[in-house]
Amino acid sequence: MKAQLQMNEKIASAKKIAVLQVSTLEDSLFACEELLKSGVNAIEIPYRNQEFFSLSDSCISEIKKRFPEILLGGATVINPLLAERAFSSGADFILSPGLNEETVLWCREKKLPCYPGVITPSEIENALRLELSVLKLFPVENFGGISYLKTLKGPFPDVKFIVSGGINFENESEYENFPNVLAVSGSYLLKGIKK
């Protein structure tokens, strides 16, 4: 749990996590340089398409070597096998779109911080049962955005969220300043980055 608490603090300090959809290793490394210049030092590499899993592995591994200052997450991790790939490649933490208890327990065994995705109060209660109080809230905009966060604050005052899904430059500050938001996450942070 110590590793989880330390990562919570690092992510809170970073405030933003850029979702870097990999196309080539070269493009990913360039994007990391540009993101660091713009003050973004936390990145997630998704495992979205089996065809690109090996590329995701390579990107995590190379980014870790070249940019050790980046907080690096393996994302769209829907099972322990993908968690293992991300962990073996050098990911600092895991983000999932949903709450998979097997993945959470695998990460806990490896002392790898993980942030499963939730949207309903029942899922939040299940996460609390697993001793997790920082969760990914996805897709936040589809479920009411800030007004939904306000609703959740009542029954879950000690839960913080990494919010994702529909975040953009226009609404990010509203989310960042909301009391139960730890950080915002999205691919919008890469807009304007061109080689």
For the chain, residues with pLDDT lower than 70 are: 195
Residue 80 and residue 70: Cα distance in Å, rounded? 23
Task: Give me the pLDDT at residue 195, please.
Answer: 66
Cβ-contact 137, 117 below 8 angstroms: yes
Active site residue 37: no
Write down the pTM of the prediction: 0.96
Q: Catalytic: which of 2, 9, 34, 44? A: 44
Write down the residue that tokens 């993908």 correspond to: 82
Task: Give me the pLDDT at residue 136, please.
Answer: 98
CB count within 10 Å of CB 173 equals 10
Question: pLDDT tens digit string along 66-106?
Answer: 999 999 999 999 999 999 999 999 999 999 999 999 999 99
Task: Give me the pLDDT at residue 1, please.
Answer: 79
Task: Give me the pLDDT at residue 51, please.
Answer: 86
Active site residue 101: no
Residue 13 and residue 10: Cα distance in Å, rounded? 5
Handedness of CA 147, 135, 116, 55 (dihedral sign): positive
Task: Give me the pLDDT at residue 111, please.
Answer: 97
